[in-house]
Amino acid sequence: MPTVTIDGRRVTVREGAYVLEAARLAGARIPALCHHEAVEPIGACRLCVVDIWKPGWDADSFRLVASCLYPVEEGLVVHTATPRVMETRRVALDLLLARCPETPLVRDLAREYGIEETTYRKRENPDDCILCGLCTRICDKVGPAAISTQSRGVLREVAPPFFEAPPDCIGCGACAEVCPTGHIKVTEDGFTRTIWGKTFEMLRCPSCGRAYLTRAQAEWMAGRGMPVEPLCDSCKRRRTAEVAASLGRPR
């Protein structure tokens, strides 16, 4: 397992880890808005930049990289808060604030970096989408790839095909779950779930009666030979705890 130095602190991380993971292990605070453990990184937001140095490089030869994408290797030296790292993050946040001037997550982070208002022209009719791509990546990974990015440049946005209720969506809600800004809206009334303008029938947990899975998702999973959970998460946990307790009980 490689050992790396993060801000002067040596940490050993698992093989195949990225610098962001190592830095967090070392206690560094790095903003990473397009990162999620469940999907592969794409380096979209550029907020996680750090300075790195590798054995063999000139002593003063550091390079700026996106830590979420850069694999750790033995002897790597990482600085997570040099002046140019902080300035690069400030520029990225300034631009993001122009895109999403009212989004609390963006505003709070920008404020941490000393930015109250963007120095760029604010987007007209802004919404909360920071184009991190987490929703499309998770949908590709665990679902039917029902959503994608549409248009280009400042008009780019995440949407279903032709901006209509997505025919392939199974209503699993994974996209809303990973969205860091709450841009994707999901509503539930106990019987149905509505997302991306499409309404799904919910299946109920046979133990507690809670709506926990859309019928469309259950059918999609069954069609691929995937096991469909017969219970909701909390009943599953309770059953597991009951089994564990009964096994541990002295006879």
CA 186, distance to chain mean position in Å, is 17
Q: Does the footprint of ligand SF4 cover residue 179 (CB under 6 A)?
A: yes
Q: Does the footprint of ligand FES cover residue 218 (CB under 6 A)?
A: no
How many angstroms separate the CA atoms of 2 and 4, rounded?
6
Residues 136 and 168 sit within 8 Å (Cβ to Cβ): no
Q: Does the footprint of ligand FES cover residue 35 (CB under 6 A)?
A: yes
CB of 198 to ligand FES, least distance (A): 29
Q: Does the footprint of ligand FES cover residue 100 (CB under 6 A)?
A: no
The single residue among 34, 39, 76, 203 that binds ligand FES, judged by CB under 6 A, is 34
Stretch that binds ligand FES, among 32-40, 117-125, 174-182, 243-251 (CB under 6 A): 32-40
The single residue among 39, 97, 135, 203 that binds ligand SF4, judged by CB under 6 A, is 135
Q: Does the footprint of ligand SF4 cover residue 129 (CB under 6 A)?
A: yes
Exposure b/e, 184-209, CB count within 10 A at least 16 = b: beeeeeeeebebbebebebbebeeee
How many angstroms separate the CA atoms of 108 and 115, rounded?
9
How many angstroms separate the CA atoms of 65 and 54, rounded?
12
Stretch that binds ligand FES, among 31-39, 151-159, 177-185, 215-223 (CB under 6 A): 31-39
Stretch that binds ligand SF4, among 82-90, 174-182, 200-208, 240-248 (CB under 6 A): 174-182
Given ligand FES, ligand SF4, none, residue 44, with its beta carbon under 5 to 8 Å by kind, binds ligand FES
Given ligand FES, ligand SF4, none, residue 183, with its beta carbon under 5 to 8 Å by kind, binds ligand SF4
Name the burial class of residue 31, with classes exposed (0-12), middle (13-18) and buried (19+) by CB atoms within 10 angstroms of its CB: middle
DSSP codes joined into one string, 50-110: EEEE-TTS-TT--EEEETTTPBP-TT-EEESS-HHHHHHHHHHHHHHHHH-TT-HHHHHHH
Residues in contact with ligand FES, counted by CB under 6 A, come to a total of 12
Q: Which residues bind ligand FES (CB under 6 A)?
A: 32-35, 43-48, 66, 68
